[in-house]
């Protein structure tokens, strides 16, 4: 596939149950289980759950683990278009194999009673997520760090600890810290500026209705469901006509997330849920609830300039079983833009930030890209908008 910008205007086949390649539930479930197990033994990231799917198709080991894998690698079903902030040319970013298998199980198996043995789809995805976390916590997993760095061109010079032999396991490297000056806050002296919470692929919407029109197609997607609130509660009502920003982290990204506003830390609520993939092809699929169904942790932040509550939602996903708060643990603590709030262990995931009505005016380029719709590649500290009322 050509990656030129002109291709963004060409229709892309929708990823639906009818257009996915033909494969049985058991084949895909076995494949996901096998690739997770194999990641415990493979020191090379080309034999790893996070390898971009196109890099795997000609590998004999993956063909032996997942018969018929070639059927899952059709061009329009193995990645997403994104655009680098400040650029005008989109590029095609391939997804990891585990996300592709997870989507197949989600699309085909959500209503299926059993998939592999006696496991339901939800049980299988939860089990594999827990297993992968245990694999990456094992000291043996450190052997794959060097290959991961090469595969994803990780910038070693910005790491707080650049000596990769100091990381005790792969997970420790995965939620690596950066040097204090690696992610400066743009326009730091302008207190109205709101900044990116993560190195991510970002979409922004001035209302939930626009988010549903252009991006999130889950039929149960709304603020009360996302925040696990009764619709008539005072807190839910304070978010009526809210604006939202969706920060999607890919496996290669820096996986610590940060504060987008000057704020005071409030309550945290943990919401148990599923471990569906958060890839856009799943988020964009009509009828599939992902953001409001997945396990998530909600931190409320009091926006100092306006006194309003902002909801910061860390969403778990397939092979992401751990959401850890660091700077957001102490209620009443005062934080400034760019301060660390927490991290995800193993795998990419998503942060959704819900702003009460009229608190934020998003930057025009982000709004325009989101309505195409296409994600914008940004980093922690980049401006994403401004406070419009105080």
258 is catalytic: yes
Give pLDDT tens digits for 347-381. 768 999 999 988 999 999 999 999 999 999 999 99
Percent of the chain with pLDDT over 70: 80
Give pLDDT tens digits for 137-153. 999 999 989 888 988 88
The catalytically annotated residue of 129, 297, 349, 370 is 349
The catalytically annotated residue of 48, 104, 255, 258 is 258
Which candidate, 187, 183, 223, 201, places its Cα nearest to that of 310?
Answer: 223
The catalytically annotated residue of 122, 199, 262, 289 is 199
- Of the ranges 82-86, 114-118, 197-201, 344-348, which one carries the lowest mean pLDDT score? 114-118
The per-residue pLDDT for 42 is: 65
Mean pLDDT for all residues in the chain? 84
Is 297 in contact with 323 (CB distance < 8 Å)? Answer: yes
Q: At what angle do helices 97-109 and 25-38 cross, to 10 degrees?
A: 150
Q: What is the rounded CA–CA span in Å between residue 346 and residue 328? A: 20
Lookup result for tokens 């850890």: 324
Q: Does residue 168 or residue 123 have the better pLDDT?
A: 168
The model carries a pTM of 0.90
Is 175 in contact with 255 (CB distance < 8 Å)? Answer: yes
Q: Mean pLDDT throughout 69-92?
A: 74
Give pLDDT tens digits for 37-67. 888 776 665 556 766 665 655 566 666 666 5
DSSP 28: H
324: enclosing H helix or E strand:
strand 322-325
Q: Mean pLDDT throughout 77-83?
A: 80
Q: At what angle do helices 97-109 and 121-137 cross, to 10 degrees?
A: 160
The per-residue pLDDT for 280 is: 87
DSSP 293: T
């Amino acid at each position: 596939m050509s990656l030129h910008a002109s291709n963004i205007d060409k229709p892309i086949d929708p990823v639906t149950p009818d257009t996915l390649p033909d494969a049985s539930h058991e084949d895909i479930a076995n494949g996901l289980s096998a690739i997770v197990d194999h990641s415990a033994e493979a020191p090379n990231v080309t034999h790893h759950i996070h390898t971009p799917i196109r890099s795997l198709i000609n590998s004999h080991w993956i063909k032996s683990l997942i018969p018929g894998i070639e059927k899952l690698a059709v061009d329009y079903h193995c990645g997403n278009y994104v655009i680098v902030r400040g650029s005008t040319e989109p590029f095609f970013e391939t997804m990891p194999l585990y996300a592709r298998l997870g989507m197949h199980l989600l699309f085909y198996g959500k209503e299926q009673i059993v998939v592999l043995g006696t496991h339901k789809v939800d049980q299988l995805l939860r089990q594999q997520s827990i297993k992968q976390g245990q694999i990456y916590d094992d000291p043996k997993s450190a052997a794959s760090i060097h290959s991961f760095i090469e595969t994803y061109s990780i910038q070693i010079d910005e790491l707080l600890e650049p000596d990769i032999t100091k990381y005790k396991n792969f997970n420790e490297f995965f939620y690596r810290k950066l040097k204090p000056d690696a992610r400066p806050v743009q326009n730091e002296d302008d207190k109205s500026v709101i900044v990116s919470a993560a190195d991510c692929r970002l979409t922004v919407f001035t209302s939930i209705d626009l988010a549903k029109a252009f991006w999130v197609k889950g039929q149960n997607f709304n603020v009360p469901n996302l925040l696990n609130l009764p619709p008539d509660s005072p807190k839910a009502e304070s978010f009526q006509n809210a604006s939202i920003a969706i920060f999607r982290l890919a496996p290669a990204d820096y996986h610590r997330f940060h504060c987008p506003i000057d704020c005071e830390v409030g309550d945290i609520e943990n919401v148990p849920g599923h471990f569906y993939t958060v890839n856009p092809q799943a988020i964009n699929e009509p009828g599939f609830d992902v953001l409001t169904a997945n396990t998530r942790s909600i931190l409320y932040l009091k926006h100092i300039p306006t006194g309003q509550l902002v909801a910061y939602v860390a969403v778990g996903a397939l092979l992401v079983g751990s959401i850890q708060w660091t700077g957001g643990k102490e209620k009443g603590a005062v934080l400034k833009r760019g301060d660390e709030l927490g991290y995800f262990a193993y795998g990419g995931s998503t942060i959704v930030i819900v702003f009460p009505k009229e608190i934020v005016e998003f930057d025009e380029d982000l709004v325009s890209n989101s309505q195409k719709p296409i994600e914008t590649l940004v980093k922690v500290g980049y401006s994403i908008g401004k406070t419009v009322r105080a």
